[in-house]
Amino acid sequence: MQQLKRSGMDWDNGMAPEAPSAPETLAQTGLTLGFLSDLILRILYTRGGMVGLDLSRVLCLPFKIVEEALTFLKNEKCIEVLGGDLIGRISYRFNLTELGRRRAQEALAQCTYVGAAPVPLEDYVEQVYRQAVTAIEISPESLRAAFAHLVVSEELFNAIGPAIVSGKSVFIYGPPGNGKTAIAQSIGAFLNASGGEIFVPYAFLAENNIITVFDQAVHEPAEDRSSPRLEDNEATIRRLLNAGTVDARWVKIKRPVIITGGELNLSMLDLKYSPESNYYQAPMHVKANGGVFLIDDFGRQLCSPKELLNRWIVPLENRVDYLSLASGQKFQVPFEQLTMFSTNLDPKDLVDDAFLRRMRHKLEITPPERPIYERIFNSYAKRLGMNPCPAAIDYMYEQYYNRGRCPRASDCRDLLETVQSICRFRRMPVQLSRDLIAEAASSFIREFK
């Protein structure tokens, strides 16, 4: 099995990675003529007859490459060709013959994937390393902008920066309700703002098997401001006929921030395979390459912490992962994301020293001191259009926090939103008072005594 190698970074002062260039020949796609022909047969069988323009759109390949496979299929008497308009062969309509339908059924029995042509595994690996998190330029000023909406102590802020720069794993721990998830999301926002967009393929090909990567549920396409949002047929034709354009098999996205919690189990870290479709879906941590992968509520997963950590010892140490196909074959993929573990539990009860050693950065998120609590409280009150009310904060400390309840940053949001609901129900202006915070607290905190 070939070892992965990091290529040189195509970065300049933190600018976004270079876009993959469109292939100009079939050989440059990394696909064989037979593979592309079978994919075209499946598309025509499931979607019916299509013009060359639409086939190129579905395959995300230049027409001159698609045309090579269409010529082969025509010579094999698998398709028939109807003339088009004056635009040329890209406007011809292609239909399956009876022989072509049988061949398409055979191709579908082998694999049901219909969509963009996959990229070679080697191209995927190279692009992931080009856009690794470790290549992002970072400064305290740029990081503060991403955290402007949060109230974070200076000590914690100074620990977050080096953790991002390293691109290594981060262990975040502390009592619930103090912003562990919000911090991870803010790190993701920073990567989006300062790291630029990245490219992920619709799918890649490994050991002649298709693995889908782009997932609309977790990948947010980036708007390309250099071109119009909607492309007319004439512009599409020019793009599909001309060389030197961006490879349409890749999707430009914002750096992903993927969060998983108690639902995580070991099977979710492997390729998802369907025997009926005979192709694979990449696991979550592969979809997170180039971004942030947060394991929230660590220790409450369906599998034990030890099982989960054993699964990730090699990826965390060597920054590569091994994925297994249904045939038993294995291949390597990059493990190039900022991996974060967040837990409310005592780390000593979850992991051993060997694991903690692999966690390069350990961030303890403690309950807020009163000055920080007041800043959070007042900031959220302002956001809700409420008047400042120091007496409300005094009440919380007199009745709860000075009597044993640990203050939480999330208390500010929960209490003030409850006050807002009380005001709206009573059809009175949204306002803040000692009496209203007392009423909200009696409802919210009662069950926690």
For the chain, which residues make up each domain, given as ranges?
Answer: 32-117, 122-364, 370-448
Mean pLDDT within 356-376:
85
Tell me: pLDDT of 29 over 90.
yes
Report how far residue 131's alpha carbon sits from residue 135's, in angstroms, rounded to the nearest whole number.
7
Tell me: pLDDT of 244 over 60.
no
Greater confidence (59 vs 319) lies with 59
pLDDT of residue 449: 40
Tell me: pLDDT of 344 over 60.
yes
Mean pLDDT within 314-333:
91
> Which band of pLDDT confidence, cut at 50, 70 and 90, is reported for residue 84?
low
CATH of domain 32-117: 1.10.10.10
Phi, psi of 364 (to 5 degrees): -95, 120
* Top-level class of domain 122-364: alpha beta
What whole-number percentage of the chain has pLDDT above 90? Answer: 52
Mean pLDDT within 120-131:
94
Tell me: pLDDT of 88 over 60.
yes
Greater confidence (270 vs 264) lies with 270
Instruction: Say which range, 85-94, 252-261, 379-388, has the weakest mean pLDDT.
Output: 85-94
Phi, psi of 340 (to 5 degrees): -125, 130
Instruction: Say which range, 8-12, 63-67, 115-119, 142-146, has the weakest mean pLDDT.
Output: 8-12
Phi, psi of 84 (to 5 degrees): -120, -155
> Quick one: residue 214, left, alpha or beta (phi over 0 = left, psi -120 to 50 = alpha)?
beta
pLDDT of residue 239: 52
pTM: 0.82
As a whole number, the mean pLDDT across the chain is: 85
Residues 307-314: contacts with CB under 8 Å, at least 24 apart: 307/266, 308/264, 308/266, 309/351, 309/355, 311/266, 311/269, 312/269, 312/339, 313/355, 313/358
Whether the Cβ atoms of residue 213 and residue 286 lie closer than 8 Å to each other: yes
Mean pLDDT within 14-22:
73
Tell me: pLDDT of 225 over 80.
no
pLDDT of residue 273: 93
> Which band of pLDDT confidence, cut at 50, 70 and 90, is reported for residue 236?
low
Tell me: pLDDT of 13 over 80.
no
pLDDT of residue 242: 55
pLDDT of residue 141: 83
Q: CA dihedral defined by 13, 14, 19, 20, rounded to 10 degrees?
A: 90
Tell me: pLDDT of 283 over 80.
yes
Instruction: Say which range, 47-56, 286-295, 299-308, 398-407, has the weakest mean pLDDT.
Output: 299-308
Three-state DSSP string of the chain? CCCCCCCCCCCCCCCCCCCCECCCCHHHHCCCHHHHHHHHHHHHHHHCCEEHHHHHHHHCCCHHHHHHHHHHHHHCCCEEEECCCCCCHHHCEEEECHHHHHHHHHHHHHCCCCCCCCEEHHHHHHHHHHCCHHHCCCCHHHHHHHCCCCCCCHHHHHHHHHHHHHCCCEEEECCCCCCHHHHHHHHHHHHHHHHCCEEEECEEEECCEEEECCCCCCCCECCCCCCCCCCCHHHHHHHHHCCCCECCCEEEECCCEEEECCCCCHHHHCCEEECCCCEEECCHHHHCCCCEEEECCCCCCCCCHHHHHHHHHHHHHHCEEEEECCCCCEEEEECCCEEEEEECCCHHHHCCHHHHHHCCEEEECCCCCHHHHHHHHHHHHHHCCCCCCHHHHHHHHHHCHHHCCCCCHHHHHHHHHHHHHHHHHCCCCCCCCHHHHHHHHHHHCHHHC
What whole-number percentage of the chain has pLDDT above 70? Answer: 89
pLDDT tens column, 149-183: 888 888 888 888 888 888 778 888 888 888 887 88
Greater confidence (55 vs 366) lies with 55
pLDDT of residue 245: 83
pLDDT of residue 232: 53
Mean pLDDT within 214-236:
67
Greater confidence (235 vs 210) lies with 210
pLDDT of residue 12: 39
pLDDT of residue 11: 40
Whether the Cβ atoms of residue 258 and residue 287 lie closer than 8 Å to each other: yes
pLDDT of residue 10: 42
Tell me: pLDDT of 342 over 90.
no
